[in-house]
Chain A
Amino acid sequence: MLRLGIDVGGTNTDAVLIDGDRVLGAVKASTTADVTGGIVTAIGDLRQATGFDPAAVHAVMIGTTHFINALVEGERLAQTAAIRFGLPATRALPPLVDWPDRLVTAIGGHSHLCHGGHEYDGSPIADFDEAEFRAVLDRAVTAGATSFALSSVFSPVNAEFENRAAEIIAEQLPGAPVSLSHEIGRMGLLGRENATVVNAALRGLADQVATGLLRTVAEAGINAPVFLSQNDGTLMDVDYARRYPVATFASGPTNSMRGAAFLSRLPSCAVVDIGGTTSDVGILQQGFPREASTDVNVAGVQTNFRMPDVLSIGIGGGSHVVHQASGTAVGPASVGYRLAQEALVFGGTRLTATDIAVAGGRAEVGDASLVAHLDKSVVDAALRVVDDRLAEVVDRMRASAEPVPVVAVGGGSILVPEDLAGASRVVRPDHFAVANAIGAAIAQVGGEVDRVYSVVPQQRDTVLDEARQEAVDRAVAAGARPGSVEIVDIEEVPLAYLPGNATRIRVKAVGELSLGGSRA
């Protein structure tokens, strides 16, 4: 089965062609502002390099940082109305309360409260007030809102208010994008609501990007389904991505780690991904990134997504190296993407970590004679700084006292020493520079349930089975081949300080992509 994996990063667009577990080819092109230009170039380069037949491609998987970048930059965001059902509760902390002013302005600052929502046991806090909601909707539309984020207290228990409001919007404003919090986030109103508002603000952009991607792929002569990578390393159909762009946010680090696991054939390891400016270290457990236990702040907005647990330090291939009497410093300042002009080995004038790696014999990059004059004590001191800091961050991340295998990927991975403290060994797989695109290409399809159930002790197994089945069904609905779906994670947490049996159950299922039809 031929898969085309594409990673659209801030600087480079990488493309890889994979057949089963063989990498047939890999290329790098420059990312363009419209996303699609870089993809066109990358696919063209890949055809030149491998001579593949576009018609033979079974699936195209794309990882992109485009949506998270749009939020960080506060640009290309839709005018979004955040409407919450919760009154008379939740008044003191209205929607957007903890957002940075800049972003509130960027999405138009439409924050509204309506009566309703539910208690933990599913009984309503207040009745649905249709007249009130219609009035709020009118005000929002008059003020210019074009995308709608609906949240409701305890909607993971009962989504009635969000669904009813969505029906009214569909009837009043046919085709208007509506994002519902119970479909997007987990328990915890503010985090779930924030994720929903972010999603709503990205809907217009998602529509454009999805259309552009489909067109680009079709124009390249590829007649295969197109998928986008999600935060957890699974795939979503490109049409699903039009409705849930927020689910792509953490796909970058996830793809890089999963790609590293695939290339090194190590399902459990530490992954060190070194770029031009930073090193990101994450942990893979059974092929999936370990998730952060605390909530994640994205562009100043607190969300309750599950994100990979990644620790970053300011050391990369382009890091400035400064040697003074007081000691040697590497980073955090970096020449970044200007490495190929500014580093000594490329004829530049700035001493960088890459120069040190070349002078220390760790890599053959550029012209080694240009760093031959460097004082050995300076080179050794700088390499020691790099080694100590990498070892420290690997040590802080690893899950057990035993040394772990370390997989080094990314363009700056030449900095990683052969012998790293805390590492049982250092693995440098082939194609390490395109691990992200490979991670996208190998992704599976997932389904998740995260909800509060009332669990009567004798019926615990029944409830768990129900949740398992729903997760499997969701994976299949998202495009997994029914026979291949496995439950990869189950979590059962009783709600604290509540009598009775309210239990939050989270089940995650993952399966192989079903490609149906004659080419499967």
Chain B
Amino acid sequence: MTRTSAEAPAPVSPAPLTAARVPALAAGATLLGSGGGGEVATGALLLSRELAGAPVPLVPAAAQAPDTLVVHAGLVGAPDVLAERLADPDDFAHAVRTAAEVAGVRAGAVGVIEIGGLNAVVAAVAAARLGLPLVDGDLMGRAFPRIDQTVTAVAGVDPAPLVLVGPGGNTVVVRECARRLAERLLRANVLALGGAAALAVHPLPAARLAAIGVRGSVSACLGLGDRLLAAREAGGTPEDLADALEAELLAAGRVEEIVPRQDLTPGWATVTDGRTGAVVRVDLLDEYLAVTVDGVTQAAVPQIIAAVDPRGHRPLRADQLRTGGHLILLRLPPLHTWPSEADPLVGPPAFGLDLTPPPPTGPVPGGGTFSWRGGS
């Protein structure tokens, strides 16, 4: 379950997002992408340019007036399309405005769909272009490939109105749609728009979002990014990196073999742990799905699995793994806890994996629900 408001401290707004914070946001978002979520660099470049004008206020949903409309913004589609066709801040702004129009209320803030990968950065681009605050939270607590893999879906909230905007202002508006149809509608329309499009979805009153959304994600992402950047400077061992990120070190070794995915059937990479000699299997689609060490699964979706290049401490996406390459495999602390009934939606079965799930993430310092503290 996501934390209830009774556990949460009184909402205090973190520092506004400035251009100087973009590298930390991008670094944290890449880790939280769990090997997917797309190439963050292009979004980071856009965001740096947007924030050169004015910083974006970062606000907890609970600190907003209860009926403030929060529209969630992001980019859907293929990273390779983004890398070629780039993205236009105006398209995100147009998508958010259109979704608010259909909802019949002015948008008061922009929300992050997923804090993993490119979309952590893109929501901030939309907020900057619209001159709106960004809600310090998200709907996934990491990156997922499908639009229905959200805490809102678990809470039974439909995603519409849903708006897609492609280059040149081509706009698709979905006024109503069942949760189970959302992904199919997105895919068909995104494809027609050339494989990538700006998305506005889940317009929600701030009070509702405060109750069901993942909290503090943007701050957590910034904090994680700060720690990664500091660890990169320090250039330590895999153990040092895991300590710095408060993560579990799963393995550190060399990629021996990569078996590519077949459409929706996961592929895997075999890694030999150079320290222990253990044989490690990493199941993957567009993200890392599970890590199994000597036959025992040590991490699996929805837990966040990160692969990091031991040389430069750069996170590696699933499509960047190469045979002979070295990596450090980490299980990051979760930003929130999914209820067990969400397993068919975000657990191993949702990705076609049949495995004995790993133990839940161990107790974290301070006990109780893990809580991130943002900032450096």
Interfacial residues, chain A to chain B (CB-CB below 8 A):
86, 88-93, 97-98, 117, 119-121, 125-126, 153-154, 187-190, 285, 290, 293-294, 309, 311, 396-397, 399-401, 452, 492-499, 502, 504
A399 near B85 with CB under 8 A, answer no
Given contacts A93-B46, A492-B260, A498-B195, could you give 18 more A-B pairs where the C-beta distance is less than 8 Å? A86-B85, A88-B167, A92-B46, A93-B49, A119-B81, A154-B84, A285-B324, A290-B324, A294-B314, A309-B311, A311-B311, A399-B254, A399-B325, A399-B326, A400-B254, A494-B261, A496-B318, A497-B38
Which among B86, B90, B168, B324 has the greatest number of chain A C-beta atoms within 10 A?
Answer: B86
- A495 and B78 contact, CB distance less than 8 A: yes
A190 touches B80 (CB 8 A): no
- B 130-174 contacts with A by CB, 8 A: 145, 167-169
Inter-chain contact A496/B254, CB cutoff 8 Å: no
Beta-carbon nearest neighbor of B170 in chain A: A88
Tell me the residues in window 244-302 of chain B with beta carbons closer than 8 Å to chain A beta carbons. Answer: 253-254, 260-261, 272, 274-275, 286
User: Taking A86-B85, A92-B90, A498-B78 as contacts, is the C-beta distance between A120 and B195 under 8 angstroms?
Assistant: yes
In the bound complex, how far is the Cα of B38 from the Cα of A396, in angstroms?
A: 27
Q: Which chain A positions have C-beta within 8 A of B167? A: 88-89, 125
User: How far apart are the CA atoms of A387 and B225 in the complex, in Å?
Assistant: 33
Question: B residues within 8 A CB of A399?
Answer: 254, 324-326
Kindly identify which residue among B45, B319, B326 contacts A93, using a CB–CB cutoff of 8 Å: B45
Q: Which 5 A-B pairs have the closest CB atoms?
A: A401-B274, A89-B167, A88-B168, A119-B194, A498-B78
Q: In the bound complex, do residue B274 and residue A397 qualify as a contact, i.e. CB atoms below 8 Å apart?
A: no
- B56-78 residues at the A interface, CB under 8 angstroms: 77-78
Q: Which residues of A contact B36 (CB under 8 A)?
A: 496
Chain A residues with CB under 8 A of B45? 93, 97-98, 190
Interface size class of B (residues with CB under 8 A): 35 or more
Chain B residues with CB under 8 Å of A119's CB are 81, 85, 194-195
Partner of B86, one of A89, A290, A400, A452: A89
A498: contacting residue among B81, B87, B326, CB under 8 A: B81
Determine the chain A residues whose CB is within 8 A of the CB of B84 once the complex forms.
120, 153-154, 187-189
Residues in A whose Cβ lies below 8 Å from that of B324 = 285, 290, 399
A89 contacts which chain B residues (CB < 8 A)? Answer: 85-86, 88, 167-168
**Within 8 Å of chain A (Cβ to Cβ): is B187?**
yes
| List of A residues within 8 angstroms of B85 by Cβ | 86, 89-90, 117, 119, 125, 153-154, 189
- The chain B residue sitting closest to A188, CB to CB, is B83
Nearest opposing residue in chain B for A117, CB measure = B85
Choose from A121, A189, A492, A494 the contact partner of B83 (Cβ within 8 Å): A189
Q: Which residue of B lies closest to A154 (CB)?
A: B84
Complex-state Cα separation, A119 to B254, whole angstroms? 36
The answer to whether A187 touches B83 (Cβ under 8 A) is yes
The answer on a CB contact under 8 Å between A190 and B42 is yes
Residues of A within 8 A of B80 (CB): 120, 187, 452, 495-496, 498, 502, 504
Question: A497–B77 contact, CB under 8 A?
Answer: yes
- Contacts A98-B45, A293-B322, A294-B312 hold; do A494 and B86 have CB atoms under 8 A apart? no
- Are A293 and B78 in contact (CB-based, < 8 A)? no
* CA of A142 to CA of B78, assembled, Å: 39
A92 and B87 CA atoms in complex are apart in Å by: 7
- 8 residue pairs from A and B, CB less than 8 Å apart: A89-B86, A89-B167, A120-B195, A187-B84, A189-B84, A293-B322, A396-B235, A399-B326
Q: Name the distance in Å between A455's Cβ and chain B's nearest Cβ.
A: 11
B275 near A401: Cβ-Cβ < 8 Å:
yes
- Residues 31-50 of chain B: 1 if any A CB is under 8 Å from the residue's CB, otherwise 0? 00000101000100110010
Query: Are B194 and A497 closer than 8 Å at their CB atoms?
Result: no
A-B contact count (CB 8 A): 122
Contact of B145 among A154, A190, A293, A497 (CB under 8 A): A497
Residues of B within 8 A of A121 (CB): 195
A190–B326 Cα distance when bound, in Å, is 27
B344 to chain A, nearest CB (A): 22
| CB-contact partner of A92 in B83, B88, B319, under 8 A | B88
**Within the assembled complex, what's the spacing in Å between the Cα atoms of A452 and B78?**
14
| B310 close to A (CB within 8 Å) | yes
B195 in contact with A92 (CB, 8 Å): no
A499/B191 contact (C-beta < 8 A), A120-B81, A399-B324, A399-B326 known: yes
Whether B4 sits at the interface, judged by CB under 8 Å, is no
- Cα A410 to Cα B191 with chains together (Å): 54
Minimum CB distance partner of A189 in chain B: B84
List of B residues within 8 angstroms of A498 by Cβ: 77-78, 80-81, 191, 195
Taking the nearest CB of chain B, how far is it from the CB of A511, in angstroms?
23
Asked if A499 and B311 make an inter-chain contact with CB atoms under 8 angstroms apart, the answer reads no
Which residues of chain A have C-beta atoms less than 8 A from B191's C-beta? 498-499
Complex Cα gap A154–B83 (Å)? 9
Query: Which of A97, A117, A294 is most buried by chain B, counting CB atoms within 10 A of its CB?
Result: A294
Q: A504's closest neighbor in chain B, by CB? A: B80
The answer to whether B320 and A293 touch across the interface, beta carbons within 8 angstroms, is: yes
Other-chain residue from B77, B78, B87, B319 in contact with A493 (beta carbon distance below 8 A): B319
Q: Is the CB of A497 within 8 A of B88?
A: no
Smallest Cβ-Cβ distance to B261: which chain A residue:
A494
Q: Which residues of A contact B78 (CB under 8 A)?
A: 120, 495-498
Q: How far is the CA of A511 from the CA of B14 in the complex (A)?
A: 59
Residue of A nearest to B320 (CB): A293
Give Cα A293–Cα B275 distance, bound, in whole angstroms.
23
**Does any Cβ of A come within 8 Å of B89's Cβ?**
yes
Q: Please, which residues of chain B bring their CB within 8 A of the CB of A311?
A: 311
The answer to whether A92 touches B253 (Cβ under 8 A) is no
What CA separation (Å) do A266 and B108 show in the bound complex? 65
B333 at the A interface (CB under 8 A): no
Tell me the minimal C-beta distance from A421 to chain B in angstroms.
15
Given A293-B309, A293-B316, residue A496 in contact with residue B79 (CB < 8 A): yes
In contact, A496 and B319 (Cβ under 8 angstroms): yes
CA distance A399 to B310 in the complex (A): 11
Chain A residues with CB below 8 A from B272, complex form: 401
